Amino acid sequence: MPYAEKEKALTGSETTDYYSRSLQRSKIARMVDRERRNIIKAHEMPWEDSPQGRIKHMVNEEMNTREHCIDVYQQFLAPNGRSGKHRHLTEEVLYILEGRGYDLHWDIRFDCQNEYIWDWTTEPQKYEWEEGDFVYVPPYVIHQHFNADSEHPARFVSVTSRIIKAMGFDWFDQLEPAPEWEGGK
């Protein structure tokens, strides 16, 4: 039957105003966006002692900024310190502001040729970094950051995309907390 799909497609009598409501929501969102902040001063950026460690939020979805796509924070690692061990579905980029250290990355092993297998390598890859370096962490790779200096702190900027959350993939796992978090907090 050459018209079977057409006959099915043209059936039904229910109506809606989805498109019109989308236009209205878009108009309201643009008006609200004008009220959001373009600049966050350093003294307005909140600190957090978290399972990831000591961080200072620069841009976060809860900070009422005009930025809608990324979250940015500074991570602080004490001498010989480390972050929490974690993974998230979005990629992460780091820019090292001061110090020297390394990352451990447990890459994903994925295979669906004969059966569906999705797990992580048992041995991590080590990536050394220092002030001025850029570090890339692929999506959903288990990773952890380490300060290799026993006398000086390390500090870097972390940037992740929050778009993936809006798509319904808010997958984040804190696999091991930072040492200072383990102290009963």
Q: How confident is the model at residue 183 (pLDDT cuts 50, 70, 90)?
A: low
Q: Would you list the DSSP string of 29-58?
A: HHHHHHHSBS---GGGSPEEEETTEEEEEE
Q: What is the pLDDT of residue 182?
A: 64
CATH number, position 65 = 2.60.120.10
Over residues 110-141, the pLDDT tens digits come to: 777 777 777 777 899 999 999 999 999 999 89
Contact (CB, 8 A) for 86 and 142: yes
Q: What is the pLDDT of residue 29?
A: 83
4 within domain boundaries: no
Q: What is the pLDDT of residue 127?
A: 98
Q: What is the pLDDT of residue 146?
A: 97
Q: How many domains does the chain have?
A: 1
Q: What is the pLDDT of residue 8?
A: 81
The side-by-side arrangement of strands in the sheet containing 172-176 is 125-130, 100-106, 142-147, 85-88, 172-176
128 within domain boundaries: yes
Q: How confident is the model at residue 102 (pLDDT cuts 50, 70, 90)?
A: very high
For 157, the domain range is 13-182
Integer angstrom CA distances of residue 94 from 53, 157, 160? 15, 5, 9
Over residues 91-101, the pLDDT tens digits come to: 999 999 999 99
23 within domain boundaries: yes
5 within domain boundaries: no
pTM (2 decimals)?
0.81
122 within domain boundaries: yes
Q: What is the pLDDT of residue 184?
A: 47
88 within domain boundaries: yes
d(CA 68, CA 33): 10
35 within domain boundaries: yes
Average pLDDT over residues 150-168: 93
Length of the chain: 185
Higher pLDDT, 43 or 2: 43
132 within domain boundaries: yes
